[in-house]
Amino acid sequence: MPSIDPADRNYWTDESSARDDGAVSIELTYVDITRAAEVVARELPATPLQAHPLLDLALRERGIAADVVIKHEHVLPTGSFKVRGGVHLAATLTEPERAHGLVTCSTGNHAQSVAYGARLAGVRATVVMPGTAPAVKRDAVAALGAEVLVRGASLGEAAEAARAHAASSGGSFICPTDPRIVLGHATAYGELFGQAAAAGTPLDAVLVPIGSGTGAAGACLVRDALAPGCRIIGVQSAAAPAGWQSWRSGRIEQAPSTTRASGLATTTGYELTQRLLRGRLDDFLLVTDDDIDTAARLLASRAHTLAEGAGAAALAGLIASGPGARGLVAVMCTGANASADEIARLAAA
């Protein structure tokens, strides 16, 4: 049986799940997601799914005829959907993880989610963040009680430093695509499709921002179980296209990240989420950072919503789709941790 580097270990990644080539094969199911939803619901409230007539009017002026509802995940604690992953992680920690603490890397929202989960569980957490991470996100992680280490100029460099720190300190490295995290994030989509069904308004499409791809992977898994006719469309910044390139090529690829949207600033595709997206994701759009800023201004002025770049990316994707968007479309507003620069750009013409 092939050995697995201890630095790569996390939930469900033991020798029994390793393939002959040494890679880890992990299957996530809708049943797993429903169990995670029970855990998350004990800690977090459901988030609103709302229509905004002023936003619809602005979109119609751009030739978009779709009816749009916004899933307001940004209202959760930590200002991001990612706290769902941290809550589920907290409830599923192993004894070694509890004993030795957690180590992770992030540009901000995953960092806050792990720090939030660690505080819930009463365990130590260290978060390695690149120098490009917004100060407001570094401060938020520290305020939740985690130790913050600033290392490297990109998320990839921060990830290398985090794995090295975990190896030297004995802490457990928590990958941003740890299966427990993916399951927690997926609960947003069980909630979304449940809300749409309760209203008697089945969704024709859901647009999801993609950084590491955990949200989109969760959306696809839930869609397959509850609404197989609904299209799941991923959106990523063209200035950080590693996930898009990986999805297109069918292999994990790296690419530089120069995006202003810190929540999308990944430099590599991720094996687990890419495997889940392959054959499930209906489309994957690239948008410019200026497109994202335009969407953020629309959310602020027409939907009373302050969104960071990653949180506005799904709407940017809808706008980029143009007249082709039809039916009832859900747009995921995933985060509100806007930097000072992002807030300043809201006032730009």
Domain boundary among 143, 173, 203: 173
Please choose, from the candidates 222, 155, 158, the residue with its C-alpha nearest in 3D space to the C-alpha of residue 194: 222
Residues 200 and 312 grouped into a single domain: yes
Residues 253 and 242 grouped into a single domain: yes
**Residue 262 pLDDT level (bands cut at 50, 70, 90):** very high
Q: 37 to each of 82, 188, 236, how far by Cα in Å?
A: 14, 8, 26
Percentage of the chain exceeding pLDDT 70: 92
Residue 220 in contact with residue 195, Cβ under 8 Å? no
Residues 45 and 90 grouped into a single domain: no
Q: Which residues pair with 14 in a beta bridge?
A: none
Give the model's pLDDT for residue 257.
Answer: 95
User: Count H helices, E strands: the chain?
Assistant: 14, 10
What single-letter amino acid sits at 207?
Answer: L
pLDDT in tens, 117-144: 999 999 999 999 999 888 889 999 999 9
Q: 27 to each of 103, 151, 202, 300, how far by Cα in Å?
A: 24, 33, 27, 39
Domain boundary among 150, 173, 196: 173
Domain boundary among 118, 143, 173: 173
Residue 279 in contact with residue 252, Cβ under 8 Å? no
Give the global pTM: 0.90
- Per the domain annotation, does 18 fall within a domain? no
Q: How many CA atoms lie within 13 A of 82 on its CB side?
A: 30
Residues 50 and 115 grouped into a single domain: no
pLDDT in tens, 267-323: 999 999 999 999 999 999 999 999 999 999 999 999 999 999 999 999 999 999 998
Q: Which domain holds residue 117?
A: 82-173
CB neighbour class for 35 (10 Å; exposed up to 12, middle 13-18, buried from 19): middle
Residue 287 in contact with residue 316, Cβ under 8 Å? yes
CATH number of residue 147's parent domain: 3.40.50.1100
Give the model's pLDDT for residue 27.
Answer: 75
Q: Is 205 left (phi over 0), alpha (psi -120 to 50) or beta?
A: beta
Residues 142 and 206 grouped into a single domain: no
pLDDT in tens, 216-242: 999 999 999 999 999 999 999 999 999
Q: How many domains does the chain divide into?
A: 2
